[in-house]
Chain A
Amino acid sequence: MKNWKPLISFMIMIWLGLQIWAGSDFKDYTWPFIGFPMYAHKRGVTYDNEVQKILLRGVTTHGQEIEVIPEDFGMYSTPWNHSVAPKLKDPATNRTTAAQLVNDYNRRHPQRAPLAGMRLIKIHWRMTATVPVEMPPDTILYYMKAPF
């Protein structure tokens, strides 16, 4: 039988080395060698103390508001939360993103009532010294397509 031990040992060392390197520096672009910083960032009463969720309401051409979910754009909630939701939360990008979503929705669902716009509602809770407190929801954007 051939002695594969040196080759396997070398491979194990390289493999574990890569994993420890990526893991101790919290890398994820090096997947499948990655770090594990999920849930690792601290939050406090005086900093990063707000939990937010952006709700999407599609506004049809008849003015009716309907619920819109990530699956309407072919996405699941978690990747949605990481790739689209941050753009919707950011005032600098939310208008363009909402416009893209309206177009994407109409392209994907020609059989449904077309959307003319979108309302973004922020649901948020604030951390206090004792318990989280629910804040009133805010409309952070009411986007309507130009009528031409």
Chain B
Amino acid sequence: MSNLLNRLVQVWDRYWFTPESLTRLAIYRIWVYAIILIDVLVWTRGHLRYADVDPQLYHPIYFLNLFNIPAPAHPWLDIIYGLLAVFVFLALIGFKTNFFVLLASGLYMYWVAQWFSFGWVHHLHPPLLFSMIVLGLSPSGARLSVDHLLKRLRENHAAQQFIPKTDATSPYAAWPLRFVQVIIILLYFLSGYAKLKISGWEWANGTTLQWYLMNDYLTFGAPEGLWLANHKTLCILLSYLTLIFETGFILALFMPRYAPWFLLVSFSFHLGTYITMRTFFEFLWLAYPVFFNFPKIGAWIRYKITAPAGLIKFAVLFDGQCPLCIRSATTVDFLDWRGKFVFRDVNDWEQISRDYPGLDQQQSLEEMQVMIPRDGGHEALTGFYAFRKIAQHLPLGMLFWPFMHVPGVPLIGTRVYRFIASRRKRITGGARCSFHACEIPVLGNQLKSNQ
């Protein structure tokens, strides 16, 4: 008996708590909160109008009734809406992640619930709504977040050196993803179950589908629906396929490897319902990314398709004795989601001069450099131009990259860069840099004599 119990515990533990990539979890957080931000700012912004609807039509659902929450009214609904948008944005960028993710989930629940209290409960919110909540109860901000950037800046500053990022796994990164997967699978299965329990196999009599097609035709006016409703045999066939597909979806629970195939079939199903009924179930399939391991897919695309001969990497040469440079390198490393850069400390001059012959050590200390592989050698870009090159290859930097080419910007950028670089402190003995030179222990005397 205890053996069986032990085995069950092991299976349970393996299913929910097998270590999973924190980056994968973070990508799902960004995806979910990006969708919710669009939903709040664009799709459901109009629900502010529910504050104007006759309160007699307000029939609070149980969740709101439990807390005696009255019908929405101005200006409270407007204030809640504003806070919701801010919290969702903070959850998206991962600032105080768990705190703001949970706050955003709570407010979003209210936002949706007050809308449902006017007589109609939408059935497809659970996957995204539950995703929002479980992300707040897990280490979803441990990667790809402002929290992670700040943590790394603090750690690298304390260590007085640049330590490159690594992906890590956590036993608490898997359960939120598995949980949402199970919810999606259950949703399909329970939809099929409802049809069979309420109507039995008679649901597939063809007339039922014809009726629903006509009902949605009268509401949304899809001519394709009218066409399909006039083909009864096809309606019977599609009805049976729907029942088999929905109830059969439960198999995805036991065959997780084949989940993408189930998703492909279900997405085709939703595409079909959109064409014929103008019902897209977007809140359901927008949660599908929870099934995909995006870090692995990204690596596969990179090494098999976009860079089969190996990724061309640019070396960023920086002064590892300068806190500002360590911070810059840490930030660039954080934003380098495509893994385009490697970071080299110029204080390891022996190795650097071997790898990049012809470089000047003093200039390397004064300005950050980016080494671009070219014709078997390397071309060096320094200062502002190095940063512009970096921006070109960072997904977020691309937003600023075009502006860095506006006439006048390189001139101003170079001056600003030099001004900041010349005033930075160095770790060793409180040494500083000037416009012309950086004090470094090895070259210090020689430099002073040159000046």
- From A19, A43, A52, B183 is in contact (CB under 8 Å) with A19
- From A42, A84, A132, B208 is in contact (CB under 8 Å) with A42
Please measure, in the bound complex, the distance between the C-alpha atom of A86 and the C-alpha atom of B4, giving whole angstroms.
54
Q: In chain B, residues 201-220, which have Cβ atoms closer than 8 Å to a Cβ of chain A?
A: 202-203, 205, 207-208, 210-212, 214-215, 218-219
- From B113, B123, B183, B186, A38 is in contact (CB under 8 Å) with B123
| Contact across chains for A4 and B172 when beta carbons are under 8 A apart | yes
Shortest beta-carbon distance, B177 to chain A, in Å? Answer: 12
For residue A75, which residues in chain B have a CB less than 8 angstroms away from its CB?
53, 118
Please measure, in the bound complex, the distance between the C-alpha atom of A65 and the C-alpha atom of B62, giving whole angstroms.
41
Please measure, in the bound complex, the distance between the C-alpha atom of A76 and the C-alpha atom of B96, giving whole angstroms.
36
For residue A30, which residues in chain B have a CB less than 8 angstroms away from its CB?
62
Residue A92, interface by CB 8 Å: no
Given A30-B62, A74-B53, answer yes or no on A41-B199 (Cβ-Cβ < 8 Å): yes
Given A28-B121, A36-B123, A125-B214, answer yes or no on A84-B57 (Cβ-Cβ < 8 Å): yes
| Contact across chains for B62 and A42 when beta carbons are under 8 A apart | no
Residue A26, interface by CB 8 Å: yes
Residue B171, interface by CB 8 Å: yes
The 3 closest A-B pairs by CB, nearest first: A83-B119, A42-B199, A82-B120
Q: In chain A, residues 54-103, which have Cβ atoms closer than 8 Å to a Cβ of chain B?
A: 73-79, 81-84, 100
For residue B230, which residues in chain A have a CB less than 8 angstroms away from its CB?
131-132
Please measure, in the bound complex, the distance between the C-alpha atom of A75 and the C-alpha atom of B54, giving whole angstroms.
10
For residue B34, which residues in chain A have a CB less than 8 angstroms away from its CB?
none
For residue B182, which residues in chain A have a CB less than 8 angstroms away from its CB?
16
- From A41, A76, A83, B198 is in contact (CB under 8 Å) with A41
Q: In chain B, residues 122-179, which have Cβ atoms closer than 8 Å to a Cβ of chain A?
A: 123, 125-126, 129-130, 137, 171-172, 175, 179
A selection of 26 A-B contacts at a CB cut-off of 8 Å is A8-B175, A16-B182, A16-B186, A20-B186, A28-B121, A30-B62, A31-B61, A34-B126, A35-B194, A36-B191, A37-B198, A39-B195, A40-B191, A40-B199, A40-B203, A41-B208, A42-B198, A42-B202, A53-B219, A79-B115, A81-B219, A83-B57, A83-B119, A104-B54, A127-B211, A130-B232
Please measure, in the bound complex, the distance between the C-alpha atom of A16 and the C-alpha atom of B182, giving whole angstroms.
9
Please measure, in the bound complex, the distance between the C-alpha atom of A12 and the C-alpha atom of B182, giving whole angstroms.
11
| Contact across chains for B186 and A23 when beta carbons are under 8 A apart | yes
Please measure, in the bound complex, the distance between the C-alpha atom of A83 and the C-alpha atom of B120, giving whole angstroms.
7
Residue A14, interface by CB 8 Å: no
Q: Which positions in A face B, CB cutoff 8 Å?
A: 4-5, 8-9, 11-12, 15-16, 19-20, 23-24, 26, 28-45, 48-49, 51-53, 73-79, 81-84, 100, 104, 108, 123, 125, 127, 130-132
For residue B219, which residues in chain A have a CB less than 8 angstroms away from its CB?
53, 77-78, 81
For residue A104, which residues in chain B have a CB less than 8 angstroms away from its CB?
54
Q: Which among A12, A20, A78, A81 has the greatest number of chain B C-beta atoms within 10 A?
A: A12
Shortest beta-carbon distance, B314 to chain A, in Å? Answer: 37
- From A84, A123, A131, B218 is in contact (CB under 8 Å) with A123
| Contact across chains for B210 and A132 when beta carbons are under 8 A apart | yes
| Contact across chains for A19 and B211 when beta carbons are under 8 A apart | no
For residue A19, which residues in chain B have a CB less than 8 angstroms away from its CB?
126, 183, 186
For residue B113, which residues in chain A have a CB less than 8 angstroms away from its CB?
31
For residue B50, which residues in chain A have a CB less than 8 angstroms away from its CB?
74
| Contact across chains for B190 and A49 when beta carbons are under 8 A apart | no
Dominant SS among interface residues on chain B: helix
- From B57, B63, B118, B229, A131 is in contact (CB under 8 Å) with B229
| Contact across chains for A39 and B210 when beta carbons are under 8 A apart | no
Given A9-B16, A32-B129, A44-B207, answer yes or no on A79-B119 (Cβ-Cβ < 8 Å): yes
| Contact across chains for B171 and A51 when beta carbons are under 8 A apart | no
* Given contact pairs A8-B16, A32-B63, A132-B211, a sample of 7 additional A-B residue pairs in the complex whose CB atoms are under 8 Å apart: A5-B16, A9-B16, A26-B198, A28-B61, A29-B62, A34-B121, A40-B199
* Interface flags, B377-394, vs A, CB<8A=1, else 0: 000000000000000000
For residue A31, which residues in chain B have a CB less than 8 angstroms away from its CB?
61-63, 113, 116, 121
* Interface flags, B1-23, vs A, CB<8A=1, else 0: 00000000000110011000000
Please measure, in the bound complex, the distance between the C-alpha atom of A73 and the C-alpha atom of B50, giving whole angstroms.
10
For residue B433, which residues in chain A have a CB less than 8 angstroms away from its CB?
none
Please measure, in the bound complex, the distance between the C-alpha atom of A5 and the C-alpha atom of B212, giving whole angstroms.
45
- From B12, B115, B137, B190, A23 is in contact (CB under 8 Å) with B190
Q: Which chain A residue shows the least CB distance to B215? A: A51
Q: Which chain A residue shows the least CB distance to B232? A: A130
Shortest beta-carbon distance, B181 to chain A, in Å? Answer: 12
Residue B52, interface by CB 8 Å: yes
Given A74-B50, A79-B118, A132-B214, answer yes or no on A24-B193 (Cβ-Cβ < 8 Å): yes
For residue B56, which residues in chain A have a CB less than 8 angstroms away from its CB?
100
Residue B49, interface by CB 8 Å: yes
